[in-house]
Amino acid sequence: MSRNELFLTGGTGFVGSHVLRALLEEGYRVRALVRRPTAELPGDGRCRAIVGDLARPGELAREMRGCRYLVHVAGLYSFAPRHRPVMWRTNVAGTRGLLEAARLAGVERAVVTSSSAAVGPARPGQPATEETPPTHGRPSAYHASKLAAERAALAARVPVVVVLPTAPVGSNDWRPTPTGRIVLDYMRGRMFASLDGGMNLVGVGDVARAHVRALERGRLRERYLVGGQNLTFDQMWRMLSELTGRPRPRVRLPRRAALGLAWADEARCRLAGADPVVPLEGVRMAAHLMHVDDAKARRELEHRPSSVVLALAEAVAWYRQHGYA
């Protein structure tokens, strides 16, 4: 077994592509799970594509043999109604099956990407921590899937460290994720109104480096929130306005009005199979303050987040360069 060989899922995705580069920079040899043999991967021979699917995790045990580590980043992050049926299979059943395959393959240690969605919301003056319990209200499909996936990971028979990023931003968010969609909609002049509340943004490169540190020094069976900066939505619009030249939203929607629009958009998406413009799950999230205290990761993983403004600037530049806006 190679001392620095690992198996990575999600290496062609937004967060996973940055994790892959961070692992290669630290000298790891990577077997990266891809669904298509044509997927392009960096690495100068130190990264090998493994064609497979989380829907068939039993087939991956053979491919993982000889790997000391597993880094599981793959997951479906979407607020589109059409993705809800497959989200549980990908995020929960896929995680459970992959970790069992890793056990059979003799993997010694795994890092699993969760989400700050798996902790409860902040309270005024009291950001959420790893110990903040999730709300008992009506969770979004995405939040419910990430919470269940995390519980499956911590119950697995492979030693696991769990990383909980907040809302990553940066380059290569090609799908885009719901957070990337916010940036892109702002760039296209589609952000016509704002809500009360706020969220924590973190540079995707910082999230990637936190995965490497979690692999090397994270305590087993522990969870680490990885954040950047707690922002109000008004602060976020101000940053994006300066980066894009677009005016900030001047209209502030009451929560009930926003929910009414979101329910109407939900009906449209269900009928047309479309992506949401006013996502119901996003509006429900915005009813809570999504601020975190990531002191544990700063202390134990030496997580030192960089500038969120620079991360947003990277996202804006990447979207412009690739013709999104």
What was the pLDDT predicted at 224? Answer: 98
d(CA 8, CA 200): 26
Provide the 10 A C-beta neighbour count for residue 307.
Answer: 12
Q: Which amino acid is at 301?
A: L
C-alpha 65: how far from its chain's center?
A: 27
Q: Tell me: the pLDDT tens digits for 186-202?
A: 999 988 888 888 999 99
What was the pLDDT predicted at 123? Answer: 80
d(CA 236, CA 238): 5
> Cα angle vertex 26, ends 20, 32, to 5°?
25
Residue 182: partners with Cβ closer than 8 Å, 6 or more residues away: 191
d(CA 315, CA 174): 10
Bond from prior residue into 249 cis (ω within 30 degrees of 0): no
Q: Within 13 Å of residue 277, how many CA atoms lie on the same side as its CB? A: 13
3-class DSSP assignment, residue 5: strand
Provide the 10 A C-beta neighbour count for residue 257.
Answer: 14
Here the contacts of 83-91 (C-beta below 8 Å, separation 24 or greater) are 84/141, 87/141, 87/142, 87/145, 88/141, 88/145, 88/148, 89/55, 90/54, 90/55, 90/145, 91/145, 91/146, 91/148, 91/149
Enumerate domains of the chain plus CATH numbers. Answer: 5-321 (3.40.50.720)
| Residues linked to residue 203 through DSSP beta bridges, in sequence order | 169
Q: Which two tokens stand for residue 17?
A: 């592509």
268-to-82, 131, 186, 278 alpha-carbon distances in Å: 11, 38, 22, 11
Nearest to 70 by CA among 30, 36, 43: 30
d(CA 268, CA 144): 23
What was the pLDDT predicted at 102? Answer: 96
pTM above 0.85, yes or no: yes
What was the pLDDT predicted at 284? Answer: 76
Sheet containing 229-232: which strands, arranged edge to edge?
Answer: 167-169, 198-203, 229-232
What was the pLDDT predicted at 139? Answer: 57
Q: Tell me: the pLDDT tens digits for 207-252?
A: 999 999 999 999 999 999 999 999 999 999 999 999 999 999 988 8
Task: Decide if 49 contacts 27 (C-beta within 8 A).
Answer: no
Q: Tell me: the pLDDT tens digits for 3-41?
A: 789 999 999 999 999 999 999 999 999 999 998 776 677
Check whether 270 has a pLDDT greater than 80: yes
Give me the phi and psi of 31, to 5 degrees please.
-105, 115
Task: Decide if 202 contacts 311 (C-beta within 8 A).
Answer: yes
Task: Decide if 152 contacts 211 (C-beta within 8 A).
Answer: no
Which region, left, alpha or beta, applies to residue 292 given φ > 0 means left and ψ of -120 to 50 means alpha? beta
Check whether 282 has a pLDDT greater than 80: no
d(CA 255, CA 277): 16
